[in-house]
Homo-oligomer: A and B are copies of this chain.
Amino acid sequence: MTLVVKVGGADGNAIAPVLDELAHRTDCVLVHGGSSEVDRLGEALGRPSEYYTSPSGVVSRRSDPAHLEVLVLALAGRVQTELVRGLLARGARAVGLSGVDGGLLRAKRKEGARAVIDGHVVRLHDDRSGSVEAVRAELLTVLLRSGYLPVVGPPAVTDAGEVVNVDADRAAARVAGALGAEALVLLTNVPGLLRDPDDPASRIPRIPRAEWETALAYAKGRMRKKLLAARDAVEAGVPRAVIGPSDRPDPVRKALDGEGTVIE
């Protein structure tokens, strides 16, 4: 059975233990983000990243055409090449794919994204972001069947052929659903969902369906998107999703053993 593992892809996320482990697994897809690389390249190009807050309180990256260009360079160019190189060096036949390759991640562009600026709700007309609506899993199964390890990241592509930014956690959930994966493992820099963000010992080990809404109340910022991704995967038929840390040996196996927050 296939496994989908998501990592941050850049600073603040320990990547080496993940690559060490995945190089010895078969039938696995690695999905990556890489926000800090996008930020760094944007600074170097004089186009620093901008973030906005939606009326419902979700913080998102600004993806106007100039910023989207930076994102494509950083993720499809630098982060993906570095992950593939790292896996190759460990003996895995990794192949990098953006969501544009083969139309892998089909997205719907966000219509009228809205931002709260100085207390006013403003429509963002030139936003090039979207959400993944469909995954053309055939490209992944062709590669998996031949012993390759697909490494997948944003951007995605719309039916109209536009390149758009998508959230990598939620894209990973879609990939897991489309492949009928046995599990989605979301690796990050915290031990899991914490009741108290300042207390690593306050990890919530398991979230059954009935306690979903309560758990979501604890989740702030990036963790909120991870929980939503975990729910997407479970609703798409993936038996379980686990959120766990990447900075320890065998982070995937440990997550699958329940050392993290398990959503089922």
Select one of B73, B84, B96, B97 contacting A41, CB under 8 A: B73
Instruction: Bits for A64-92, please: 1 = Cβ < 8 Å to B, else 0.
Output: 00000100111111101100110011000
- Chain A residues near B (Cβ < 8 Å): 41, 44-46, 69, 72-78, 80-81, 84-85, 88-89, 93-98, 100-103, 138-139, 142-143, 146, 148, 155, 157, 161, 163
Task: Check A95/B139 contact, CB under 8 A, given A73-B73, A76-B80.
Answer: yes
A78 and B73 within 8 A (CB): yes
Interface of A is mostly: helix
Q: Which residue of B lies closest to A90 (CB)?
A: B161
A103 and B88 within 8 A (CB): yes
Minimum C-beta distance from A76 to chain B (A): 5
Q: List 11 A-B contacts (CB under 8 A).
A: A75-B77, A76-B80, A76-B81, A77-B78, A88-B161, A93-B139, A95-B139, A96-B97, A96-B100, A139-B146, A142-B143
B88 and A100 within 8 A (CB): yes
A85 and B100 within 8 A (CB): yes
For A100, the chain B residues whose CB sits under 8 A away are 81, 84-85, 88, 96
Q: Which residue of B lies closest to A148 (CB)?
A: B102
Select one of B45, B74, B146 contacting A77, CB under 8 A: B74
Alpha-carbon separation in the docked complex, A75 to B80 (Å): 13
For A88, the chain B residues whose CB sits under 8 A away are 100, 102-103, 157, 161
A102 and B93 within 8 A (CB): yes
Select one of B46, B72, B96, B142 contacting A98, CB under 8 A: B96
Q: Which residue of B lies closest to A69 (CB)?
A: B78
Q: Which residue of B lies closest to A44 (CB)?
A: B45
For A76, the chain B residues whose CB sits under 8 A away are 76-77, 80-81, 96
Minimum C-beta distance from A246 to chain B (A): 21
For A139, the chain B residues whose CB sits under 8 A away are 93, 95, 146, 148
